[in-house]
Amino acid sequence: MDHDDRRPHGGWDERRLQLVLAAQRRENGKRGELIDEFTPLVAGVARLYRGSSAVNRSELMQQGVVGLLEALERYDPELGTPFWAYASWWVRQAMQQLVAQLGRPVVLSDRALRELARLAAEQRRFVQEHAREPTLCELAEAAEMPIAHLQRLQVADRHARGLEEPLGGDPGASTFADVLCDPEAEDPFERVPQRVTADQVRCLLDTLDDRERAIVRGRFGLDCPQSTLRELGSRLGVSAERVREIEQRALDKLQVQSCAVGPS
């Protein structure tokens, strides 16, 4: 049988191996040729992360090339491992780090990102076949993973939200910071000394104007249901941010007045 020099040798493409060796020796132009040669394979890895809205394809490709060149520096041809079999891990690792830094509140492992890609593929397939979204149990069965593990992946895949981001997308709405409770934080109303009695509180509230008094009563549920900034703003015809400013001013007044009241 005639031997064709272009056929893979030992399971590996000899031409590509020679290109890798030349690029390692930094021969003129060989690194550029290496990148061109492996760009289609890098693009294949990038498709695994296309579900991330925080990173576009161009950024993924650039980061993939960084991983490819990192692999080139570390690759030892004497071990007999095909270059791409070795380099693909570095390419995925580089893309994974980029996605984790820009798109998620926690860094996910390469395995977790592959599992998320599988979940997305199974979800699309289910919707195409059944014309509806799968339930949690159906998706877990299709992806062949425990429901608890699937739930952990979905939680980790959620995008980070800014504390000052308005709820519902309305610029005048309450923010995430308004609805998050910090058990170790001091309640703003606690700045009024505890020694002040209920009767004195009523007297202190009388030192506020009508709008300030309505906001403080509403925010802290004094003789009325507790309300959000947005709800109070709707009643008073002002923005939620304006309500916050008035509340802060009123609490500052109460703090000054409470210090002047002294012990009963």
pLDDT of residue 6: 37
Given a contact cutoff of 8 angstroms between Cβ atoms, the answer to whether 78 and 61 are in contact is no
The answer as to CATH 2.60.40.10 being correct for domain 14-103 is: no
pLDDT of residue 228: 86
The verdict on pTM exceeding 0.75 is: no
Where does 167-261 sit in CATH, by number? 1.10.10.10
Residues of the chain with CATH 1.10.10.10: 167-261
pLDDT of residue 163: 64
Q: Which CATH number fits domain 105-160: 1.20.58, 1.10.10, 2.40.230, 1.10.760?
A: 1.10.10
pLDDT of residue 242: 86
Could you list the mean pLDDT of each consecutive 10-residue stretch along the chain, which spans 264 residues?
Answer: 40 78 91 92 87 76 91 91 91 82 64 79 87 87 87 73 63 63 54 52 77 84 81 85 85 72 51
pLDDT of residue 33: 92
pLDDT of residue 241: 84
Count of other CB atoms within 10 angstroms of residue 174: 21
Residues of the chain with CATH 1.20.120.1810: 14-103
